[in-house]
Amino acid sequence: MTPLLKNRLTGCVLALAIFVVDQWTKWLVTGPLGIDQVGKVQQLLPFFDLRFTRNYGVSLGMFEATSPEMRWGLVIVTALIALVVTVWMLREKLFGDILGLSLILGGALGNIKDRYELGYVVDFADLHFGEFRPFLIFNVADAAITIGVLIILARAFFMRDKEVDDLMTTKAPGAAENI
């Protein structure tokens, strides 16, 4: 197996693992722990609760689906985005990019499944410091998507491919040295 194929396969396995962990945690919270209605809360730490909520929108609750047509529209649009991310991931060569894309893909699949089956995404993780909440209530899929996007952005802004560095430092034959 080539290193490139191994990286891409690892990305697919990681996306599947994120999906499974996301669905398992949602089942655990809403099933055995019984936090399955809006308003139900279980404090785990002074700064972290399990608090059930339904997210009818996408990122940060934007684009809320207020009708069945909008719900299915969100399912279709997010599925198309997941397809684009899958193709992108399978075309990438660098493991860092594959890693970020696999986190995004696994999280997207978890939230798409919720929206398809339930009409909303189950969110339950509530990080807070007193009344200050730096994030909205989220789930494993949301965290994976956020971390994946941060990885992709960091690599785009701060990392350079070796080929780009080589092109920038290669001198034309007979060119004078920079002083």
Question: Out of 36, 142, 161, 166, which one is annotated catalytic?
Answer: 142
Per the annotation, the verdict on 123 as an active-site residue is: yes
| Strand ranges across the sheet with 48-55 | 41-45, 48-55, 121-127
Question: What is the DSSP secondary-structure string of the chain?
Answer: --HHHHHHHHHHHHHHHHHHHHHHHHHHHHTTT---STT-EEEEETTEEEEEEEE-SSGGG-S---SHHHHHHHHHHHHHHHHHHHHHHHH--SHHHHHHHHHHHHHHHHHHHHHHHHSSEEEEEEE-BTTB-SS-SB-HHHHHHHHHHHHHHHHHHH---HHHHHHHHPPPTTPPPP-
Torsion angle (degrees, nearest 10) of CA 86, 88, 90, 94: -130
User: Residue 42 CB: number of other CB atoms within 10 A?
Assistant: 14
Question: Out of 22, 114, 123, 126, which one is annotated catalytic?
Answer: 123
Residue numbers annotated as active site: 123, 142
